[in-house]
Structure 1
């Protein structure tokens, strides 16, 4: 186990390269005292004085003892804190404490030849990460920090002398300028800077530096520069050849060739803005589609367009974070490659990684260099390669999020999504030729859609089409639709195979996270919520959340607003293939759990939305499935809307897996949403599936209800022949089974269907038949439904007295049983009656009351109809502005709901003149 203890910067403990939390500031201060005095006894009195000074805590000795005990538990076996001689001693190898290693290296350098001494001093300098004990502040800490700063300064000027003697002036200018500004009266530093500037061909700047220190010495000390500095100045004036500059290493030009690149204009602009606004690295990662999303393409395209910004060179390394044939590159290998590119003599390269990184930072300091770190897997790969100078620009690409790079090093994050339709089409045109793409626009649209805008998928498809120039693009699209991922696979070249590229992202995941990835691939729906993912995976909430976060950090999953997680379609397709590696019972049980979660939560929502509706029960959910608790009808409607695509997909999955009761009960659960929001085509689809499933279910009521509600949906779509067939079948089955309740319900739907056809008398007969049955069944809310139906249809036939009486009776029942939806429907009927009997103001009042309830309940389908009627009432009152406002809103809703006939009628009403109020 490798341990590192650090005070030359923040006080830190690292074990095997991993940062270990030491504790709060006082506890870190205790550790700092013990580290400075490593292997020497620190008495309790000394410890208290150095950590707390004159502000001792209550029971100070006990507090100090507690801190020592906590640190003892944190440290690994190679370091220990023991009581000795009335105090504490930290027993540790001095080599693992950066302060003591720094002093040992300096001592070794004093007895070595110049080359060896320089390497040792550079290694020593590389141990510093900032000022000593950063973030801690006590009188003792301050005094020791100042002493260490003086030690560091003395070592640095010795190191610079050795480096200048070996022709290293090019890398030292920025460092020396900063040191000279910090120590404006130090003649040795001024001389070093003057010599470095002169050897870099900056003779005028060297003279200015001499004049600056000469003036300051005169003003502040009243003296002239010493003889050594004056002699150096003279030799520079005389261009002494002994001082002459050495040849400079050519600027590295390591960028690969620019890619064939289209689109990404917004990302390129954002990259311009980001790099202009920050001195830190920029991390380019993927969103929703991991490998092949175009991270490297974007970085290289931007770099080649801005080469003029990097006159001192460009460094590039592929870190092989996700590679089919290689392990991720060690930072030491990458740093050594950069040192070679910067012309460092192999004999001068330090052995220690920290020293190598320090040398690398020194070489690029003050230079305008681009550093591109491609395909990074971890922050540990990246951090040693980050320059310390704000003049350098760093681009990091990788599939993983690398959060510590963002948190600790201020990296700005640019995440790439798939290409939009225009960009994807442009990519195909660039690869296939504009004429071929323009000749088959529909096929191009199909290819873009099938590839989901994924750049690698599009490139593979374009390559396939380009190698078969005589093949119509429509046939390529048909082949891609049929074969899917199989067509995007290229076994002989993994880098040209989308499944292979995606598979590399799985290598760094745990077995559990790979299992979750596969299960998400088969979960029904375009996305998934955390509660559903918990049921799918059968993991505790914390572990499920952690697994989703791991997949998100690997760019295999994207979290969207509302706590929903989504995969790119092609990533999902690949994920589904990985479940073949799981036992069949694992994924089948997982699919059962997530289906049951959605089914039972949907039924709970339906009960809240329609508390008076009698729902058939599907039995208990699978073990360990916990439906989502929904507090009220508003939450139920919000959940149903958010999950609607997933619920439809769940029903389709249930059909595919023969789970007939899930198919049927999902149609039942979705019914309230479909009819409230006018999603009638969805209602037809779900009830047709339910009718097919009912054949396999033992309860005969399932067939009756499926026929009835399928007939209802067809009727509201104006498909009267289909509607009549299903409603007649429903009534016949209900009569055969002596099911009076279903007979009543079916008569109500037959009444509605008759009204849709304009046959009000037959519709009224059905409504009265339903009312007669319901009065004997003890179902008061459904009796109110029938009363309102009778009243409404009587009004349509001009019998307004009967209509008014029936609707008032319905309103009493609805309000008594707190059915706000029924109350709204009856107020709508009363508004119609008032409007058609000349009481237009009362009609407006009824319609407004109905609308308030309908909007609260989310009944947008009925809101449109009521607004249409409200417009007529305002028109009758000669209120054109109010009439048009109501009709405009109704028109918008009709169009949203696909009700073209109603939309056209209202459009004509808007064009017709409305008489002004008299």
Structure 2
């Protein structure tokens, strides 16, 4: 591994990382480098490299032997200098043109006119490419295309990778041809900056300006331009820092004051606002001044109350009376009973009656405790969903489940919110969702008794029995109309008897009867009687009736296409079915699917809880699934599942690309015939769709794994992975990627498997499982190296470096970061390069070289601003804060941390915000300001939703 020798000017990564066959590429604007057919060439010892550098610096013009000898050895050259020069030229020819015979003349390195010249062009040599781009930029400026010219200037300047011929001996670099090129560079930067400032487009020139001023610390014109450019780009504090630094440098080292140009630039920045005082006392903002923000939209999630609600008067009166009892204001209401008995319907009617007493909103969640697919909502997922719905930014939600519960209860403190938890499986599913606030009220429905909820949490239970005959008759009258119900009292009585007071069965029968008004009720009763004994009863432990008769009768009344749609819906992953997913299940256009879904809705076999999004009662879903297994072949069911997985994979892939267009894509299998893709227009729509569909996407991964759709499993995991990262769903990430790992093992998909290993390592790292994380990263690295996947290799080296750093293995961390940095330059990936440079700065500081660390992190900071990546900008400021603190520059550290904190808060990056607050606490403790340290510690704990503890010590601060 090549040693890292310090900060280098960005932009000089391999200029042509994948050249065509039989091509030569050369770089002299920075370290001298050459690539033949895409492979870097070893250019020999320093003097030999110097020969090539001198020829390239002359840009194809001949250089006499005498000039070359003088540049290499000066006036005291050895007597064998000319022979040595010829030997160096021969070695270079063999290195750059290995196909030549011993005595053949080279086609690039040519002798003539008393010396040598290197024939090249802009496609081969970076110096000529730079000059061509400068010429083009000036032409664009002359034509009035100033903004385009700025970008072309920036493209030209990005070719500079440090001092010209940086890896040749210093005496050679002092040659006039090299110093002239350095002057050419400075002039080009200043020329480009002047145009950029006129166009109000300064950011592309910040990095070149920073480089020039770092190499020419007393160059006042360049510093003046940097000050103006920083201020114009919005970095006014940095502009003032630059002025203060050069003013001090001029006074201390030259004994002079800033010149007129520098003073004018400084005054221009000051006119934009008051100058910061020389000494600033950084006080933490009081925690009481920054409460958790209220949600931008008050949650109002109660399901629609049925206009045809009937019966249950006694039960409703009982619930309302208990709520009015002062002792019941903080009670948990538990409505329990058998499946289909109307628990949710009563709960919804009840909470609509009391909703006005809870002005801060209503939360509703179907916990799916009895879903036949086992897709039960886990408590950690439920808490997380409620935090999202209460308006807590995802980046501010902590990783740990206990911390999330604490945050949830903190958000609800001092608020009056109504919480409805439908279809709970047991008390443990409910308990984390209970608010601590006395002003909130919780309504729970369940088939089970939930005795511990009653005993421990004081829940007030209501056992819901089937409807009485009187309430059943009222139910049918409300659905059928009084005239229809009165037309055949005996048939109504038989229907009531056959449905045994089960509201779900009564609703389905009433819906079918209403859709067949010409059929007498006696015929409805007879049809129901005929189907009653044709199928077994639902296998429900507390069932006291045979509800399947109602389902069968309603199903048999469907048209063939609607019946087929009904069976397909049972195959859908997750309980909520969008219309396009339903269309994919059936393999028809959406326009044909919607009327079929409407037919099912009219028959009360599905409910449209949101526009074009449907749900099934869990008993109806069980029935539909059994029908699908009985009626449809295995091949038909598999084809339907394949189409709906295609729908979700391609839709999620489209959304992921809109959210992060810079993420390198993967290849997808072609969209299957009959599958459709969600039309997602832009980034906002993509985020909204992904947030809404995230439970279904996770269920799709599980379904694809269960039914061995291996190509879908790992690709869905890849596509869904950034969402899990952004939202801190580490346990779900492990589940999804372990399924993907098994899938790639079966398919032999090695590139996908490498990604899965790295993703699993990342999840285990965040969960604190460092040994598991290391094993996953090692497996990923081995695969990436075997595959020749440099990008994946670099990212994995960064992951391993992070793990090493966490375990104080700093030298190993540096070595992995060096490798990642080398690869980023090879690929020309400037964002990765900037990230690597920042990490390298931290690694050097970890090893005690704080000045090198500052130099590298400041470069990363400038690159982040050029690339307009605020996350990296905050990371670089955090790194600088840490390094300045270690070096004893506490005021500078505090300034960097506060700038990072501002960005973290803008980005709503909770974890990073808390880390920076703890860093600020440590700095203040190190300076003896324990009051500020304690306050920052409190703020960090509050951000993470943790109990407030002040346990920071001087030892921990260091």
TM-score, length basis structure 2 = 0.44
Taking CA–CA contacts closer than 8 Å with sequence separation of 6 or more, which of the two structures ends up with the larger relative contact order? Answer: 2
**Structure 1 length as normaliser, TM-score?**
0.46
